[in-house]
Structure 1
């Protein structure tokens, strides 16, 4: 008589799969929300980008100058612009609408886009879009940052996460 080795899950496998799926869904719902970092939105438009306020801003002057005349799309008084920097790479800049000051955070680089709201300081890097499945996007993490007016603070990193219906990469 041969001794059985290994683990035989048999009829328990569907139950385990369901349990892990429920845990993953619960974890996905436990991410920061835009409303948790709410701010009031300025009605002022950007008059001028002050390229001298960041050493790399001149390299992206065309992209940044396209923001002139626009109102805040992030954190109440800022504009975010982003662009491709190679395969599966997106860089971004934050321009203060009131001062024209530019910040280009070197450590905030996307693979699957960015999500942000005019009335929130929360930035989501690599959110899943409504047409995407987390199982197909194992190469990146969804990362949540909070803007303090000068820099981003990383607050949590998760598996690829759908954030909200209006959060498309």
Structure 2
């Protein structure tokens, strides 16, 4: 059930579309920042190894974050927003856990425990948190629904005018 005010008022659609776009850019910016930090740090962590080096884990995380960031910019689909939330939330959780908990190696992953905060780690954690929050906001149904409806009604008006 949608709010009748939202479904009848074009300015609400416009505002929600702008909010959706702003959240998508914020989410993508957080993911790209996270990816850049991890790509830059990866070489320094190549010597910390298990089956995979920590540098390799950083590169994989960076690549996934970039792919999802491009997806978020390309579409407002909720599945992409869910993927962005999953990537960003697990990344920030991993940073926090690896600072405060010594888990040791897990499967092919090396022991990533590092009980200090340094500027790059802090920047990555903040960027991941911002991306996760923006992605969570993108998952809110009224924003996604109103954005799609607004786009459909605009396409319908354009089709009627061109007929």
User: How would you bin the TM-score normalised by the shorter chain?
Assistant: 0.3 to 0.5
* Larger helix proportion of the pair: 2
TM-score (norm 2): 0.33
* Larger strand proportion of the pair: 1
